[in-house]
């Protein structure tokens, strides 16, 4: 399935109309923010929420690129690693130390999940892989409920309660913090992929495993690292969800749904696309909630998915997707 014949010809990611569209959306948001206080607040809150979608969407994309499977357990992995951070804080580890320790633990956990559960079935079929990730979803959910119980848990607040005032607009420090941490982790990952030898090797292992192996790249290791990094991104998403949703085994399930949407909107193979997709969905949901009267909470999700459908009809490969042409 990952043979040499795959993707013999690819066109570039974002096409001109898409770039123009995104630029127009940004200008629209900027003007809106300058004109209206509530617009600005909703946009920032939406970006913070969207950044969480983006982190998890990026984790999905990483794994999709590496293993060609949608990891249905990504949200539950993120939830489980957040519980690990919670356990660390219970042991009187300070919040930010627990945060970074959790990222390390998540990396190992992600790599181990790949090595133990995914690798053995990787070349069987996509269905087998999907079943394994669904099983993993149920397994993690059960283990967490067994260990920590299903009732609500709370971690120390990472960003405090301050509110920043800028020209009559008040931004919560929490929203800004969530946005910065999520975006920063995404940028770091991009740097890793784009500018390091390791990143190059990982891209090679994902794109052309056989060729990569021939030039001496240990493909399995690279894929394991990919899963590890995805788990790290998931942990960031989980930890950034906690301040507003608190800890419970179901905390990431709805977010995973939005992350799927973000990943698909972005083109499923494009890291940049998933980030844009996540932010767009976060902002879009907040703004229609504010300004479209009939978009009550039961309609918000359907409206978001209807828009997603329209985008996919116009651009079947997503905003940043590459059209794959196979030579027959």
Residues that bind another protein (CB under 8 A): 37-38, 41-42, 45-46, 48-49, 52, 145, 149-152, 154, 157, 160-161, 163, 165, 170, 172-175, 241, 243-246, 248, 250, 254-255, 257-258, 285-286, 289-290, 296-298, 301
CA distance linking residue 282 with residue 307, whole number of Å: 13
Report in angstroms how near the CB of residue 41 gets to another protein at its nearest. 5
The string of DSSP codes covering 146-187 is: HHH-SS-B----SS-S-EEEETTEEEEHHHHHHHHHHHHHHH
DSSP 322: P
Shortest Å, Cβ 254 to another protein? 4
Say if residues 102 and 94 touch (Cβ distance below 8 Å).
no
- Cβ 49 to another protein, closest distance in Å? 5
Helix and strand tally (H, E) in the chain?
12, 4
For another protein, the closer CB: 19 or 163: 163
Distance CA 190, CA 72 (A): 23
In the complex with another protein, which residue's Cβ is closer, 74 or 122? 74
**Residue 68 CB, nearest distance to another protein (Å)?**
28
Residue nearer to another protein on the CB measure, 182 or 248: 248
Instruction: Tell me the sheet residues that pair with 324.
Output: 10
Nearest to 266 by CA among 255, 258, 75: 258
Residue number with CB closer to another protein (199 or 282):
282
Minimal distance in Å, beta carbon 181 to another protein?
16
Whole-number Å distance between alpha carbons of 120 and 129: 10
CA dihedral 32→37→39→44, nearest 10 degrees, is: 110
Look at residues 7, 17, 41, 30 and name the one whose alpha carbon lies nearest to residue 289: 41
Give min distance, CB of 106 to another protein, in A.
Answer: 21
Residue with Cβ nearer another protein (54 or 205): 54
Q: Which is nearer to another protein, 8 or 170 (CB)?
A: 170
């Amino acid at each position: 399935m990952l043979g040499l014949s795959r993707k013999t010809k690819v066109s570039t990611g974002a096409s001109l109309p898409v770039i123009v569209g995104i630029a127009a959306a940004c200008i629209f948001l900027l003007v809106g923010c300058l004109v209206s206080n509530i617009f600005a607040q909703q946009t920032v809150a939406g970006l913070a929420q969207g950044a969480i979608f983006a982190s998890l969407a990026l984790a999905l994309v990483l794994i999709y690129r590496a293993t060609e499977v949608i990891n249905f357990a990504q949200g539950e992995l993120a939830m489980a690693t957040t519980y690990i951070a919670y356990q660390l804080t219970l042991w009187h580890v300070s919040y930010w130390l627990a945060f970074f320790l959790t990222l390390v633990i998540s990396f190992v956990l992600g790599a181990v999940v790949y090595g133990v559960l995914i690798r053995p079935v990787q070349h069987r079929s996509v269905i087998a892989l999907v079943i394994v990730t669904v099983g993993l979803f149920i397994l993690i959910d059960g283990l967490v409920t067994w260990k920590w119980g299903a009732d609500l848990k709370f971690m120390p607040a990472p960003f405090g309660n301050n509110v920043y005032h800028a020209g009559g607009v008040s931004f919560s420090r929490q929203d800004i913090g969530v946005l910065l941490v999520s975006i920063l982790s995404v940028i770091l990952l991009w740097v890793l992929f784009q500018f390091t030898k390791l990143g190059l090797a990982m891209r090679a292992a994902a794109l052309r495993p056989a060729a990569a192996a021939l030039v001496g790249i240990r493909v399995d290791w690279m894929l394991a690292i990919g899963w590890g990094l995805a788990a790290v991104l998931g942990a960031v998403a989980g930890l950034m969800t906690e301040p507003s949703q608190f800890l419970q085994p179901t905390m990431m399930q709805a977010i995973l749904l939005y992350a799927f949407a973000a990943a698909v909107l972005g083109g499923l193979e494009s890291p940049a696309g998933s980030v844009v997709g996540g932010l767009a969905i976060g902002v879009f949901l907040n703004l229609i909630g504010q300004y479209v009267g009939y978009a009550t909470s039961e309609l918000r999700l359907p409206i978001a998915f209807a828009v997603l459908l329209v985008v996919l009809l116009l651009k079947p490969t997503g905003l940043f997707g590459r059209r794959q042409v196979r030579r027959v």
